[in-house]
Amino acid sequence: MKKTKIALMLSAALALGGCFADGNDGANGAAGPQGPQGEQGIPGDNAPVGIDISMIGRAVLNAEDAEGAAEIVSYQISKNWLYAINSSTASPTVNIIDLTDVDANELSADGDGVITNTNLATAITLDVSANTPGDANSIAVNNSFEVLAVAMAADETGTKGMVAFYDIAGAQPVFIKNVEVGYLPDALAFSPNGRKLVVANEGEPSGDYTIDPEGSISIIDLDENGVIADTASSITFEAFNNSQTELEAQGMKFTNPTGRTIKGQLLDITVAMDLEPEYVAISKDNKTAFVSLQENNGIAIVDLETHRVDIKGLGFKDWSVYGLDASDKDGGVNIRTYPNLKGLYQPDTVASFTWQGAAFVVTANEGDGREYFFDADDEASCLADGGLAFDEDDGCLSYIDEVRAEDLTLGTAFDGINNDDSDLGRLKVIEPMGDDDNDGIYESLYTYGARSFSIFDQNGNLVFDSGDDMERITASIHGASFNNDEDENQGDTRSDAKGPEPEALAIGEIGDKRYAFIGLERMGGVMVYDITNPYNVNFVDYFINRGLNEDQEITGDLAPEGMAFIHADNSPTDEALLIIGNEISGSVSIWQISQK
């Protein structure tokens, strides 16, 4: 694999307010403006250290129907077993791969340097539907007690999900029990000491929006012997139902189609219904859980001892400071700044680390809009049921917040900017935001995601953001192929949406350095940053295993969805490993990493 090394440092600061579920601390001020891009850091104790990255293992879980075959991955230290969720089969499974004897020499690259063959295969296939109904969304291995947890979402929108637990100490996984959690459990994580499992229950609405379960967080305790509690504690967001205005002032986003009638039902959507917990990270001291609220542009911070929850709005990214390519029809790379264009961070994956005794949270700022459809026979029945529009492929549209900028009337703040396909007009923006006085003229525009990764402190303050690194670096490396999509080799196709779309994330220590690995869902590449000191972050490397020849079939690994970092002390190769679950290619790739 060809690897390019670049060293740069971007920094920004943003003070964010907070809102607690108990007590009355008074109103918080609005999020302050994002500071300007910082100067290049002076090399010192945290000067970038080179790393060697090479793929040593690869498996394809379902060659016939690869999409969805490898999403979330986890690792069992005692056996060197890799676990991967596989939702591409008729019944959801967990595929188990033994990494004890990985022979990198069995891998080979094609003429473009892309590894397409495999040297690993599934050793055990665990049919999780045999013990638990529903669909498998996520997995987590508890290495303290040799337990596997699987998040199982119910088939019906208004039915609570389960976490299925398995004993993985023996030769085969053995089912232990199901524990009921909230609606649509989407991600879960064990605390570092193995004593708690925290579950993010997304609670998405039904396609017609007539059912919108409350999002919530579940906590399942394990005792000192690893015995799993029969019931979960539930943390809800009902206490925030009267705090929407305050949270919006911090930069949070709410859909709330309250007052509309769909299928004869008058909608009344609360804040608790609108919040959709996405991903979980837990602090090293086992005391705090950080839960991303992706669609809402916030993070929930949970005290795992008192179950007190605090919600932090993440504010907005200023695209007049950083550049982005706003159009997929501008003829290639065209990265520029725009006044009065803001970005919502909207993190997907989050991770946590400790520096100077304090917890920090790292976010992959993917971005996500909302678009829901329900079944209808034709346009007349769709509109009669309260739908907004009818599409023969998707059905009846019940809600959408996405619109192209060219479909809006822009105010004088955008004078001199082409609001058409060749420029800002192609960008997908958030229709309910930016028309401050509701006169039909937009004073500002807001777009999805930040095309970056960020570091926040435990108070919710922005410590670092990678700015426009990801788009500029991939443009420099891939040229016209940058901002490619995951389903075709056609460059620039994602510029109008969320660019490289950072989604997957893992952090880990190699030698005396701590690194963040950020997977770009659409491009398929991985960015590497040295985050040893969160106030002096440095870009280190970028690697990718994907064929990018235009108009040819895509090869290699597509859409990194989940990552697991294995410390050298726990690795079968005695070197650090990064395991990546690639959702679209259905492949699991194992990369070995060492410092130079």
What CATH number does residue 488 fall under? 2.130.10.10
Which contiguous run of DSSP H or E holds residue 383? Answer: helix 379-384
The size of the chain, in residues, is 596
Q: Looking at residue 191, what DSSP letter applies?
A: -
Q: How far apart are CA 522 and CA 520, in angstroms?
A: 6
Residue-level pLDDT at 88: 78
Residue 19 tokens read as: 């809102």
Q: How far apart are CA 310 and CA 243, in angstroms?
A: 12
**Pairing mode, if any, of strands 261-262 and 233-235?**
unpaired
Residue 404 in any domain: the answer is no
Residue-level pLDDT at 8: 34
Phi, psi of 270 (to 5 degrees): -90, 170
Residue 440 in any domain: the answer is no
- Regarding whether 381 and 271 lie in a shared domain, the answer is no
- Regarding whether 277 and 135 lie in a shared domain, the answer is yes
Q: Which of 377, 397, 417 is the last residue of a domain?
A: 397
Q: How far apart are CA 6 and CA 214, in angstroms?
A: 44
Residues of the chain with pLDDT under 70: 1-48, 63
Q: Looking at residue 245, what DSSP letter applies?
A: H
Residue 288, strand partner residues: 303
Q: Looking at residue 425, what DSSP letter applies?
A: G
Q: How far apart are CA 582 and CA 584, in angstroms?
A: 6
Q: Is 513 helix (H, G, I), strand (E, B) or coil?
A: strand
- Spatial CA neighbour of 100 closest among 577, 593, 584: 577
**Pairing mode, if any, of strands 587-595 and 576-582?**
antiparallel
Q: Which residues contact 309 (CB under 8 A, 6 or more apart)?
A: 20, 21, 217, 235, 237, 300, 301, 302, 303
Burial of 548 (0-12, 13-18, 19+ CB in 10 A): buried
- Regarding whether 378 and 359 lie in a shared domain, the answer is no
Residue 428, strand partner residues: 404
Q: How far apart are CA 433 and CA 370, in angstroms?
A: 14
- Regarding whether 381 and 360 lie in a shared domain, the answer is no
Neighbours of 570 (CB within 10 A): 16
Residue 416 in any domain: the answer is no
| Residue 152 and residue 132 in contact, taking contact as beta carbons nearer than 8 Å | yes
- The model's pLDDT over 35-44, given as tens digits with 9 standing for 90+, comes to 444 333 333 4
Residue 239 in any domain: the answer is yes
- Regarding whether 333 and 393 lie in a shared domain, the answer is no
- Regarding whether 352 and 293 lie in a shared domain, the answer is yes
Question: ∠ CA 571-186-55 to the nearest 5 degrees?
Answer: 30
Burial of 42 (0-12, 13-18, 19+ CB in 10 A): exposed
- Regarding whether 373 and 234 lie in a shared domain, the answer is no
Q: How far apart are CA 55 and CA 431, in angstroms?
A: 43
Residue 364 in any domain: the answer is yes
Q: How far apart are CA 74 and CA 93, in angstroms?
A: 14
- Regarding whether 530 and 381 lie in a shared domain, the answer is no
C-alpha 253, offset from chain centre: 17
Residue-level pLDDT at 46: 55
C-alpha 203, offset from chain centre: 16
| Residue 28 and residue 315 in contact, taking contact as beta carbons nearer than 8 Å | no
- The model's pLDDT over 174-199, given as tens digits with 9 standing for 90+, comes to 999 999 999 999 999 999 999 999 99
Residue-level pLDDT at 550: 83
Q: How many CA atoms lie within 13 A of 514 on its CB side?
A: 16
Residue 392 in any domain: the answer is yes
Question: ∠ CA 152-82-50 to the nearest 5 degrees?
Answer: 120
Long-range contacts (CB closer than 8 Å, 24 or more residues apart) made by 130-135: 130/91, 130/175, 131/164, 131/175, 131/178, 132/162, 132/164, 132/178, 133/162, 134/92, 134/161, 134/162, 135/87, 135/92
The type of residue at 245 is T
Q: How far apart are CA 270 and CA 257, in angstroms?
A: 10
Residue 417 in any domain: the answer is no
Residue 404 tokens read as: 């192209």
- Regarding whether 534 and 462 lie in a shared domain, the answer is yes
- Spatial CA neighbour of 287 closest among 305, 310, 260: 305
Q: Which domain holds residue 375?
A: 369-397
- Direct distance between the N- and C-terminal alpha carbons of the chain, in angstroms, rounded to an integer: 17
Q: Looking at residue 320, what DSSP letter applies?
A: T
Residue 9 in any domain: the answer is no
Q: How far apart are CA 469 and CA 465, in angstroms?
A: 9
Could you tell me the strand order of the sheet in which 279-282 lies?
Answer: 19-20, 309-313, 298-303, 288-293, 279-282
Burial of 242 (0-12, 13-18, 19+ CB in 10 A): exposed
Q: How far apart are CA 452 and CA 556, in angstroms?
A: 24
- The model's pLDDT over 339-382, given as tens digits with 9 standing for 90+, comes to 999 999 999 999 999 999 999 999 999 999 999 999 999 999 99
Q: How far apart are CA 506 and CA 99, in angstroms?
A: 19
Which contiguous run of DSSP H or E holds residue 540? Answer: strand 538-543
Residue-level pLDDT at 9: 33
- Regarding whether 343 and 226 lie in a shared domain, the answer is yes
Q: How far apart are CA 339 and CA 337, in angstroms?
A: 7
- Regarding whether 356 and 388 lie in a shared domain, the answer is no
| Residue 338 and residue 320 in contact, taking contact as beta carbons nearer than 8 Å | yes
- Regarding whether 67 and 97 lie in a shared domain, the answer is yes
Q: How far apart are CA 401 and CA 183, in angstroms?
A: 23
- H helices within 433-554, ranges in order? 469-478
Q: Which of 378, 397, 416 is the last residue of a domain?
A: 397
- Domain total for the chain? 2
